[in-house]
Amino acid sequence: MASGRNHGFHIPNPHIREMEQDVLYHIALETKSHDLPAMFGNVKFVCVGGSPNRMKHLADYLQEQLHVEIPAGMTLCNLGKGKARYAMYKVGPVLCVSHGMGVPSLSILLHELFKLLFHAKCKDVTIIRVGTSGGIGLDPGTVVVTEEALNTFLEPYYTQVILGKETKKPSVLDRGLAEAILGCSSPKDNFKTVLGKTMCANDFYEEQARLDGAVCTFTEKEKMDYLHELYAAGVRNIEMEAVAFAAMCHRVNIKGAVVCVTLVNRLKGDQVTATNEIMREYQRRPQRIVGRYIRQQLGLD
Ligand code: R2B
Ligand code: URA
């Protein structure tokens, strides 16, 4: 089996070296029965996002934008169909994969995705989370490119308990990548794209200061004071994966970025009330920005 340090990024796990085969259980791939370098060796960009449908839409959109040929009568297929926990679509050099909701689901996927890239001998890969979030002081539909991912103590760390001990891993995103993605917005867009800090919570309701969960222990004033405090600290959106995403990318030395559309302005309310049509339009916005970035990187613009 290959060594743990290779291919521009590294897998800081000496045990991988000793394994005869590696079963990437949740993405239904394995080193013995799949030729991973042949299947995935040309991957340069990985886009991840919460929902399988959104990732399918992104894959279809990128297929068109990147002029990736698909044989007549065929459509993009979900590589994990039937067996995997996550939906995965490959569009030329781009892999689009769903990660579910929250850090635990994302972290399982990233372990297996990073090992996949390693086993496939991919080089110079960039990974982008293309997602949704709640905005603070922004019009719904605004796209936020994360400049720093923070935990709910507003610290740039991902906290994990390993062998019963608390560990803090720095959440580091690539600043140059964030700025390059921000630079792909256009004054002609019918929405704004901004750079801002992103707070990552482990819950959609109480941890995100919502009054509308099944349980709530704080007042409206306490909620508003807290959200204003977040705004003053530079936080422009809240979601549920950024801090682990940033820390895990940093540990394997892969450039990562987080690009999320805001579905609601939390200074004005808690409920996500946009119609299905508006929601679909909002969700396409970060996809358009990221699509432009990938086109530019591939020399298509
Ligand atoms: C954004 O949206 C989801 C919760 O609705 C969660 O995955 C996130 O980060
Ligand atoms: N996702 C979140 O985590 N929070 C929101 O408010 C909206 C989407």
The C-alpha atoms of residue 173 and residue 128 are separated, in whole angstroms, by 10
SS3 state of residue 5: strand
Rounded to the nearest whole angstrom, what is the distance from the C-alpha of residue 64 to the centroid of ligand 2? 29
204 close to ligand 2 (CB < 6 Angstrom): yes
SS3 state of residue 10: strand
DSSP string covering 194-225:
EEEEEEE-S-SSGGGT-S-SS---S-HHHHHH
User: What are the helix and strand counts (H, E) for the chain?
Assistant: 7, 14
Q: Give me the pLDDT at residue 5, please.
A: 47
Question: Which pTM value belongs to this model?
Answer: 0.96
Q: Which residues of the chain have pLDDT under 50?
A: 1-6
Q: Where along the chain do its domains lie?
A: 4-297
Over residues 270-295, the pLDDT tens digits come to 999 999 999 999 999 999 999 999 99
DSSP string covering 68-114:
----TT-----TTTTT-SS-EEEETTEEEEE--SSHHHHHHHHHHHH
**Residue length, the chain?**
301
Closest Cα partner for 295 from 186, 133, 173, 174?
A: 186
Rounded to 5°, angle at Cα 131 from 127 and 132 = 160
132 is known to lie in a ligand binding site: yes
Considering the domain 4-297, what is its CATH architecture? Answer: 3-Layer(aba) Sandwich (3.40)
Could you tell me the two tokens for 228?
A: 């204003």
Tokens 């990548």 -> residue: 177
Q: Are 145 and 259 a contacting pair, CB within 8 Å?
A: yes
Q: Give me the pLDDT at residue 1, please.
A: 41
Q: Give me the pLDDT at residue 7, please.
A: 52
Over residues 89-119, the pLDDT tens digits come to 999 999 999 999 999 999 999 999 999 999 9
Instruction: Give long-range contacts, CB 8 A cutoff, 24+ apart: 74-80.
Output: 78/52, 79/27, 79/28, 79/29, 80/27, 80/28
Could you tell me the two tokens for 264?
A: 């609601």
The binding-site residues of ligand 1, defined as CB within 6 angstroms of any ligand atom, are 50, 101, 131-133, 204, 239-241
The C-alpha atoms of residue 220 and residue 266 are separated, in whole angstroms, by 12
Which residue lies with its CA nearest to atom 6 of ligand 2? Answer: 134
**Which atom of ligand 1 lies nearest, measured to the CA of 133?**
1
- Interface predicted TM-score (ipTM) of this complex, two decimals: 0.99
Rounded to the nearest whole angstrom, what is the distance from the C-alpha of residue 107 to the centroid of ligand 1? 14
Buried b (16+ CB within 10 A) or exposed e, 40-71: beebbbbbbbbbbebbbbbbbbbbebbeeeee
Whether the CA torsion 13, 18, 22, 25 is positive or negative: it is negative
